[in-house]
Amino acid sequence: MTFASVYPHYVTKVGKKGRTKAELHQVIEWLTGYSEKEIEEQITEKSSFAQFFQEAKLNPNTHLITGSICGYRVEEIENPLTQQVRYLDKLVDELAKGRKMEKILRQT
């Protein structure tokens, strides 16, 4: 599965709840370290999620992402790639649910 194939669903999901593409990118940038340009390159290159996360510089505070997504507790997922994808899903879900950006980005 490619990041590019899922990305439009993220945009739609947050857009339906009144959040912006810029906010989505801010969340992706926080998690992965990718710049706006690098996010667009990942989409253009149709990077798989494996490539997407392999090239990312994960935020050191990802361990603060907890809770359930798709019936699984993200902090208990053993496969690193699956956990990273679920981290992204969880952040997008929080954004779509209207959570404050400071909370999503795990800022004190």
Domain ranges of the chain: 3-99
**Do residues 104 and 27 make contact, with C-beta atoms less than 8 angstroms apart?**
yes
pLDDT band at 108 (very low <50, low <70, confident <90, very high): low
Q: What distance in Å separates the CA atoms of residue 73 and residue 55, rounded to the nearest whole number?
A: 25
* Mean pLDDT (whole number) for 90-101: 96
Instruction: Please name the helix (run of DSSP H) or strand (run of DSSP E) that holds residue 25, with its range, or none.
Output: helix 21-32
Handedness of CA 35, 37, 43, 47 (dihedral sign): negative
Q: What is the pLDDT of residue 38?
A: 97
Q: How confident is the model at residue 7 (pLDDT cuts 50, 70, 90)?
A: very high
Beta carbons of 104 and 95 less than 8 angstroms apart: yes
Q: What is the pLDDT of residues 30-87, one digit of tens each?
A: 999 999 999 999 999 999 999 999 999 999 999 999 999 988 999 999 999 999 999 9
Reported CATH class of domain 3-99: mainly alpha
With contact defined as beta carbons under 8 Å apart, do 92 and 13 qualify?
yes
* pLDDT score for 107: 82
